[in-house]
Structure formats: C-alpha cells, structure tokens
Amino acid sequence: MITEDIKRKELFLLDLDGTLYIENHLIKGSTEFIELLKKQNKKFILLTNNSSKSSNKHLEKINNLGIDAKKENIFTSAQATSIYLKNIKEKAKIYVVGTESLKDELRNQGFIICENAKEDIDFLIIGFDIELNYKKIEDACYLLDKGVEYIATNPDLVCPIENGRFIPDCGSICNMLKTATNREPKFIGKPRREMIDIISKMENIPLDKIAIVGDRLYTDIACGINAGITSICVLSGESSKEDIEKSIYKPTYVVDSINDIYEILK
Ligand SMILES: [Mg+2]
C-alpha cells in the first residue's frame, strides 16, 4: 500500500532535473512537499547527478526558485566523486573535463587541478561539461591513450531542458571518448548504491526508512533498486508509462509528479 509505506519513510532522496524542476521552472508541489517534510520532521536530501554546477551553485538555484534548502540538504555526484578520489589518493593531481564550477568543487577538496595534460596526472575526471571545447577532448584522448585512471561523475546521456528538449550529458561525452580511445570510465553518481549508503550512514537512518524519488529509470530508479530501498518514479520528467513497462528497472511506485507524493503525505 503506497500511502502507508510512504508515510513510514523518514528520509526522501529527491532528484532535481525533471523531478523538482525543469531548467528554471518549478514543478507544481515541489515547495509544498519540502515544507511538509519539515513540518513532519522528515528529512530530505537533493540527490543530483548534475555535475555542471557546484553544490553551492545548485543551492543558489534551488533557493532562487523558492525551495528552502541548506548545504546539508544537497549531495551531488561531484561530492561523491570527491569522496571516491580521496579514498584512493588525497591531493591527487587531476585533469578535469568539466565546468569551472566542478573544478572549484574539487579544488576546495584539496585536489590539484591541472590545465596542462603533459603534467604528471593521477586521474582524468569527466563531468557534465557545458563548457566543453576541443582542447579538453584532445587532452582527454592523450591521457586515455597514456593509460591514466579514468573516472566520470555520472552516466546520464542527456539532461532535460525546457520545452521537451535535452542536451548531451556526461555519459554522451564518455561515449565519444570511447569511440575514439576504446576506454570506458568508472562512473560515480546514481545508480551506484554507494550514493545511498553514504547518506544512510551520514544521517543514521536505515535503508527501509529511505525512499528515492526521480524521473530517470537507469539512474534514479536503478539506484533505489541497487540499494534495496523504495523507489518512486515521477512522470514529470523523461520517463513515460510505456518506458517503465519496457524497462528492466521497475520502480516500487509510479506517480504523475511530486505533487502526488505531497497529497499522500498531507
Ligand atoms: Mg532527473
């Protein structure tokens, strides 16, 4: 029974693009849902694979859209990548095919960002690079050919923008590099269950009290399935009912939008 199950949850992991908003347009019920969670003493974490913005920039956008969230309410694939890298080598020298925001985020975590691919690079990092240029692609190919360790922040192929349009995301950039070099990265971000395990530990909330809400089957819903938690697919983003029927990733529940979850909890 969806109502009872949802009411039992103490922590909601919420996707951003296609779930709470599309580009600069808030999806109905988003703010009301967040406010209701606070009133009911439930927690929420905005869990996004979008590595084109730093967590501060995400927060700024979310706050400007009218959602009252704080730094501790956001966890991005860039943060997850940083945790992953630190576990292998602190202060590593990295080459980033990513935005200046992503570089800032990694720099703030003590990594040395190299602009020259000829330096002694420890890791090549690919993100959702909306500032991509040919020099970066050329440098990435050089590093991949040299055998440098290869990490990507997220496997998403596209990111939704206004009017049903979409633009290439990190996964598509990696596909181009695979065609050129035959190398594939280790992807961080959703659908890796570590994204949820880290949060469950951080917040001290068991997995059966956590639900993930998102619009993308191969990231959001797959992440929920991988971690063994309740997953809710919203139809406000990229997936349709037909997509869900055809997919191997079956969400626990399907609703039209975040507004439906708000109505259930109310
Ligand atoms: Mg999404």
Mean pLDDT to the nearest integer, 12-27: 94
Instruction: Give the Å distance between the CA of 206 and the centre of ligand 1.
Output: 24
Q: 2-49+190-265: what CATH class?
A: alpha beta
Residue 162 banded pLDDT, cuts 50, 70, 90: confident
Q: Where in the chain is the domain with CATH 3.40.50.1000?
A: 2-49+190-265, 85-187
| Whether 174 contacts 185, CB under 8 Å | yes
Instruction: Give the Å distance between the CA of 14 and the centre of ligand 1.
Output: 9
Instruction: Give the Å distance between the CA of 86 and the centre of ligand 1.
Output: 27
Instruction: Give the Å distance between the CA of 174 and the centre of ligand 1.
Output: 19
Cβ neighbors of 196 (< 8 A, separation 6 or more) are: 13, 207, 210, 212, 223, 224, 226, 227, 229
pLDDT in tens, 21-54: 988 899 999 999 999 999 999 999 999 999 999 8
pLDDT in tens, 62-117: 999 999 999 999 999 999 999 999 999 999 999 999 999 999 999 999 999 999 99
Q: pLDDT at residue 248 above 90? A: yes
Nearest-angstrom CA–CA distance, 168 and 152: 14
pLDDT for 144: 98
Residue 177 burial class via C-beta count within 10 angstroms: exposed 0-12, middle 13-18, buried 19 and up:
buried
Instruction: Give the Å distance between the CA of 118 and the centre of ligand 1.
Output: 36
In eight-state DSSP terms, residue 185 is P
Instruction: Give the Å distance between the CA of 239 and the centre of ligand 1.
Output: 9
Q: pLDDT at residue 139 above 90? A: yes
Which CATH superfamily is 85-187 part of?
HAD superfamily/HAD-like (3.40.50.1000)
